[in-house]
Chain A
Amino acid sequence: MSGLLEGFITVLSPINLGYCFLGCVLGTAVGMLPGLGPAATMAMLIPLAAYMPQAGAIIMLSGILYGAMYGGSTTSILMNVPGEASSVATCIDGFQMTKQGRAGEALAIAAIGSFIAGTGGVLLLSIAGPTIADFALYFGPPEYFGLVIFSLTALMSFSGRELFKGVATGMVGMMLACIGLDPVTAKYRLVFGISNFISGMDVVPILMGLFGVTEVLISADQKIASVYQGKLGRLIPRGQELKRGLLASLRGTASGLVFGLFPGMIASVTTFISYDIEKRISNYPEQFGKGVIEGVAAPEANNNAVCQAGFIPLFAFGIPTMPVFAILLAVLMMYGLSPGPLLFSAHGDFTWAVIASMYIGNVMLLVLNLPLVGLWAKLCLIPYKFLGPGILGMCFIGAYSLRNSMFDVWTCIFFGIVGYALKKRNWPAPPLILGFILGPMLEQHLRASLQTSGGSMDFVFKPIPLIFIALAIFLVAFNLRFRSAASGLEEKENS
């Protein structure tokens, strides 16, 4: 509690409040704009983060992340175009409410639900974060090995239509991370005489290429829909509708907080689970898809809760549950901050400031999103022909500024093309970046475990690694069974 109070004192300085506000505004804006996501924005701003104070940079980047969850609902509701992948479920009933002249109510309940979820998530992080981080003290190399195996399996399993594609791109990511000097023996790996490879690949240009440049190229392929021009209607739902919306928000929050703790449970998946839960427990399931308030409230609360809960494994173990957390992890590593118990003890002032900023950020976002929703809707009118070149320009400068090297610019462009090709060929890109970040951790803990066990794999039979590996096997089996059942259903419907 004292840590949190000190965090508030730190955040309430004008400069940190300014970073928090900037993050919230940017996040809301990018959340609303189809073709520009929080991952791309955060990746582009990483080079600028090097010039900012530590706490300010993480506060701003975190603000972009959860701000985007608020903003993504606006285009879903007004244009039937999800601003973010996590807002797809909101389109189903949100746009229907707009067509019925109830856009204002839909936008309001989305903002209120997001606030409830955001607050719940920050409370959980405040209470559970340090406890879970202390639990990490019992983790040695075998336990971390098991955890990383489970995380990678989960992230690869849920990343696309085919498991082997997720595994393949994950392996490619790990190979990229091997380029350069081996951390233990300093031997060259995959260098092949190319001098630029000696210092290894930097994660930031890869992130900027895969998330920034790729999004621009994909958007160049697609047309952006026009924004709804009609009236928003009443802003706040009333009576029974408000009560139903609030209860659905609480249920969405609860499911999101649980899902968000686990790697691979990305918001674009969990929001549909939350929507499905609402439909199943509803007294009028046949109304879903025709403009029910629960169909907006629950998914929106869920995506915010997943986002907030994801900070717990990130801070406690250094495990990113989603690709955007990989970006935050990259920034933490850039500042030399290792996730784990030390983050709450030795760097407690920084960590509690970030957590406190989330409380304040959620209030800022409610104020930004509720009364100013009409203004934000006009943001969707910015033509992409101006936005796209701007993003490419920022990626160019951002990549160059890291090491004053054109090699990083070429890396960014190359991975932008790779990301575009992956998307077109239905190969998932997130496992590539997660493999790049988690691969070195996996190798480090595997080698350390083998050293202490004298070369024997017996360490996997210790309780905690065994549980994680068993969970990973279960996930793979569940994934294969689920996909087999789904394709069986598809064949039946098509015949």
Chain B
Amino acid sequence: MCSGRQGPVVMSKGLLIETLLLMGLATLGIYDGARLLRIHIPHDPLGPGGFLLIISIILVICSVINLWVYYEQGAAAEGKHLSLHIGQVGQAVILYILYAIAVPLVGYLLGSVFFFVLMVRIFGETSWIRTIVIGLIFAVVFKIGFSSLMGIPIP
């Protein structure tokens, strides 16, 4: 098969991360599957570890194929590069994580006020007054709507 690649093969960061993740998961699966295989269960030939071992081996094979496809087809086979530049998406993710950390510490209402205000801003609202008003409305409506009216537990 002709390789689509010209010149030396260089593994991109994205492909390296993909391979390491898949191999890492597969290694965990093979380790635990092999550990459980040592436990003999009468009338259960596969046992608790057999299935885990099988799917982990298939994962290793898929990881190798991923590398092979990249080698054969070149960079065109890859998806978009995941940039570490903190754009809108990165800001949203960081804020969401901080929200999950903050809520058990400061309470749902206070945490949500900051979350919704900043998130509306991240998503493109330019007026601070409108941002704050909408953020407050969201936080209060969610708190009252879910907790008080519907009785759904909130942190």
Cα of A389 to Cα of B123 in the assembled complex, Å: 8
Tier of interface size on chain B: 35 or more
Task: Provide the residues of chain A in CB contact with B69, threshold 8 Å.
Answer: 162, 164
Any A CB within 8 A of the CB of B7: no
Q: A220-B88, A397-B152 are in contact. Are A389 and B138 (CB under 8 A)?
A: yes
Task: Provide the residues of chain A in CB contact with B44, threshold 8 Å.
Answer: 184-185, 447, 450-451
Any B CB within 8 A of the CB of A211: no
Task: Provide the residues of chain B in CB contact with A416, threshold 8 Å.
Answer: 93, 96
8 Å CB interface, B115-155 against A: 115-116, 119-120, 122-125, 134-135, 138, 142, 146, 150-155
Q: A384-B123, A406-B100, A425-B14 are in contact. Are A185 and B48 (CB under 8 A)?
A: yes
Cα of A190 to Cα of B52 in the assembled complex, Å: 9
- Chain A nearest CB: distance from B111 CB in Å? 10
Cα of A446 to Cα of B47 in the assembled complex, Å: 11
Contact partner, B89, options A404, A420, A442, Cβ 8 Å: A420
Q: A424-B79, A451-B45 are in contact. Are A217 and B120 (CB under 8 A)?
A: no
Check if B22 sits within 8 Å of A168, measured CB to CB.
yes
8 Å CB interface, A150-176 against B: 162, 164-165, 167-168, 171-172, 174-175
Check if A455 sits within 8 Å of B32, measured CB to CB.
no
A-B contact count (CB 8 A): 169
Q: A184-B41, A393-B112 are in contact. Are A221 and B123 (CB under 8 A)?
A: no
Check if A165 sits within 8 Å of B142, measured CB to CB.
no
8 Å CB interface, A381-432 against B: 383-386, 388-390, 392-394, 396-397, 400-401, 404, 406, 409-410, 413, 416-417, 420-421, 424-427
- Chain B nearest CB: distance from A310 CB in Å? 26
Any A CB within 8 A of the CB of B92: yes
Pick from B25, B119, B142 the residue with the most CB of A within 10 Å.
B119
Any B CB within 8 A of the CB of A189: yes
Question: A427-464 toward B: CB 8 Å interface, digit per residue (1/0)?
Answer: 10000000000010011001100110001000000000
Cα of A168 to Cα of B19 in the assembled complex, Å: 11
Tier of interface size on chain A: 35 or more
Q: Which residue of A lies closest to B29 (CB)?
A: A175
Check if B39 sits within 8 Å of A187, measured CB to CB.
yes
Task: Provide the residues of chain B in CB contact with A451, threshold 8 Å.
Answer: 43-45
Question: A168-207 toward B: CB 8 Å interface, digit per residue (1/0)?
Answer: 1001101100100010110101101000000000000000
Check if B18 sits within 8 Å of A425, measured CB to CB.
yes
Task: Provide the residues of chain B in CB contact with A417, threshold 8 Å.
Answer: 93
Cα of A385 to Cα of B88 in the assembled complex, Å: 12
Contact partner, B51, options A48, A51, A404, A447, Cβ 8 Å: A447
Check if B55 sits within 8 Å of A413, measured CB to CB.
no
Task: Provide the residues of chain B in CB contact with A361, threshold 8 Å.
Answer: none
Check if B62 sits within 8 Å of A164, measured CB to CB.
yes
- Chain A nearest CB: distance from B96 CB in Å? 6
A-B pairs with beta carbons under 8 Å apart, 24 shown: A51-B151, A165-B62, A168-B59, A168-B66, A171-B55, A171-B58, A172-B59, A174-B55, A175-B52, A182-B48, A185-B48, A187-B39, A190-B28, A220-B89, A221-B88, A389-B115, A389-B116, A393-B115, A396-B103, A404-B153, A406-B104, A409-B100, A425-B82, A443-B51
6 closest A-B pairs (Cβ-Cβ)? Answer: A425-B79, A426-B79, A168-B62, A385-B123, A455-B45, A182-B48
Chain A residues with CB under 8 Å of chain B are: 47-48, 51, 162, 164-165, 167-168, 171-172, 174-175, 178, 182, 184-185, 187, 189-190, 192, 213, 216-217, 220-221, 383-386, 388-390, 392-394, 396-397, 400-401, 404, 406, 409-410, 413, 416-417, 420-421, 424-427, 439, 442-443, 446-447, 450-451, 455
Q: A220-B88, A425-B14, A443-B51 are in contact. List 15 more A-B contacts (CB 8 A).
A: A48-B150, A51-B151, A51-B152, A167-B62, A171-B56, A178-B51, A178-B55, A184-B41, A189-B52, A386-B134, A389-B115, A401-B154, A413-B93, A413-B96, A425-B80
